Structure 1
């Protein structure tokens, strides 16, 4: 098995929304905001080469949205999904499986592209797309609060292509011999977190359970989370498990840090070490 960091670019979101009830005077120490109160965030996907499978976990916003949409999110930096794949010697057509942690636009928007005729088609022509039925149903019938994050042009064409498959909603179910699927329900219903065994270690892809090291303290819960009290409980359990078992956490949105480990301190669980995936 080989693992590769794949950066799909950077975007900006409101700092207050990203840190919920935590005051700006505190959160800006780790995630400084610009003059519009926006913080920069990564869209850090993960590429897993496992036997004959080349699995891409999440794929960023993509580039099919119109200028009006994209200007709200201030896309910046030179990284793109295509450039990052090429850096490792791969192209989109090499991907066999696209694992979608959840269907918010910044995690699945790259799944679909517009072809030369303007039609919406899968960007990964040879891949199977993986979600789970509970989350899929949640996304295609969105509540009013979350509707802006579930864009039908990102989601419905996957099913229409015939390339969509569902993972059973069983926590700890095997996706491959080296990848288990963990479920979380606070950020959105039935978000999937890959739990990967690699070189004798466990790597947990955190998706929006833990966007950055700035979110490690328990009260640092995003206002975007549908069920913040559920997130609080889930985060506590995941972090305690990570400390006990010395997990490596892979951070999808942290603009600086790819991976971290945790330790127990007098103030609670905090970051221990940060490092790049390639250093494992």
Structure 2
């Protein structure tokens, strides 16, 4: 498991599953000859996308960013359509680190689409239960409300089995949530309730842009997904927070990227430091 170790914070990437989605959808209106220079594509026009939660350990607490693609929730048809070749091994990853799901104190959910939230619950004896029963699960108030009351578009990705078993663990916020070294900021864009996460410690800054910058190839502020519900909000948020990250010389961390776990960029947008995913 890959790690990024800063002064008093350790980031470890767990195995949360993998999908292969249409590259055109992932890069929106960007022409294929441009985005394929940045990110590999297969013969089906699909790109590999991880769903790997980030375990953050600091101050004697265990935080998780996102929850993985889960196990047993996708039908064979969904697996085929989403190119899912591997489901979650989060519990096994935690065990290798000497932890169990009971040891997770907080799960920080940037949004609650199925590929981020499926790992929050699992089926036991015919009922769905919380995977992280001792955790406070944090997401924006807007995201939580849409998860429970999806519209005609979002009902395909907001599933009741991902929220009903955990509703007593949820902590929502309006614009920002501040806790210890963490700040979650509601941005909208990818979903109406989408948030990013900022971690600052000992002069180091880490920005988790979530699906506003799903992979290292999405750093151009205009390169947004066709999956984004509010693309102009995505662009505005990327302009604001990527400038913030540049000013702070911050690390960017990724949940979906199949090649990089974390990167630092120079003023020209070139990668100057990186934690690469070990295949």
Correspondence for 2:95: 86
Correspondence for 2:228: 225
Q: Distance in 1 between matches of 2:184 and 2:276?
A: 20
Q: Distance in 2 between matches of 1:186 and 1:41?
A: 20
Correspondence for 1:100: 109
Q: Distance in 1 between matches of 2:121 and 2:40?
A: 32
Deviation at 1:125, TM superposition (A): 2.3
| Unaligned stretches of 5+ residues in structure 1 | none
Aligned positions of 1:130-149 closer than 5 A? 130-149=138-157
Q: Does 1:193 align with 2:196?
A: yes
Contact 1:4-1:88 within 8 A present in 2 as well: no
Deviations 1:163-183 (A, max 9, x none): 2222x2133x31x22111122
Deviation at 1:131, TM superposition (A): 1.9
Deviation at 1:258, TM superposition (A): 0.9
Q: Where do 4+ consecutive residues of structure 1 move more than 6 Å? A: none
Correspondence for 1:3: 11
Deviation at 1:223, TM superposition (A): 0.3
* Counterpart selection for 1:165 from 168, 171, 174: 171
Please report the TM-score for the alignment, with normalisation by the length of structure 1: 0.89
Please report the TM-score for the alignment, with normalisation by the length of structure 2: 0.89
Correspondence for 2:274: 275
| Unaligned stretches of 5+ residues in structure 2 | 1-8
* Secondary structure class of the residue paired with 1:275: strand
Relative to structure 1, the CA distance from residue 78 to residue 139 in structure 2 (aligned partners, 3 Å threshold; closer, same or farther) is closer
Relative to structure 1, the CA distance from residue 275 to residue 87 in structure 2 (aligned partners, 3 Å threshold; closer, same or farther) is farther
Q: Distance in 1 between matches of 2:107 and 2:221?
A: 31
Deviation at 1:76, TM superposition (A): 2.8
Contact 1:257-1:274 within 8 A present in 2 as well: no
Q: Distance in 1 between matches of 2:237 and 2:270?
A: 18
Q: Does 1:28 align with 2:36?
A: yes
Contact 2:215-2:256 within 8 A present in 1 as well: yes
Correspondence for 1:253: 256
Between stretches 139-148 and 9-18, larger displacement belongs to: 139-148
Correspondence for 1:113: 122
Q: Distance in 2 between matches of 1:275 and 1:201?
A: 15
Deviation at 1:47, TM superposition (A): 1.0
Q: Distance in 1 between matches of 2:60 and 2:77?
A: 40
Q: Distance in 1 between matches of 2:232 and 2:166?
A: 32
Q: Distance in 2 between matches of 1:230 and 1:163?
A: 29
Deviation at 1:136, TM superposition (A): 0.8
* Secondary structure class of the residue paired with 1:193: strand
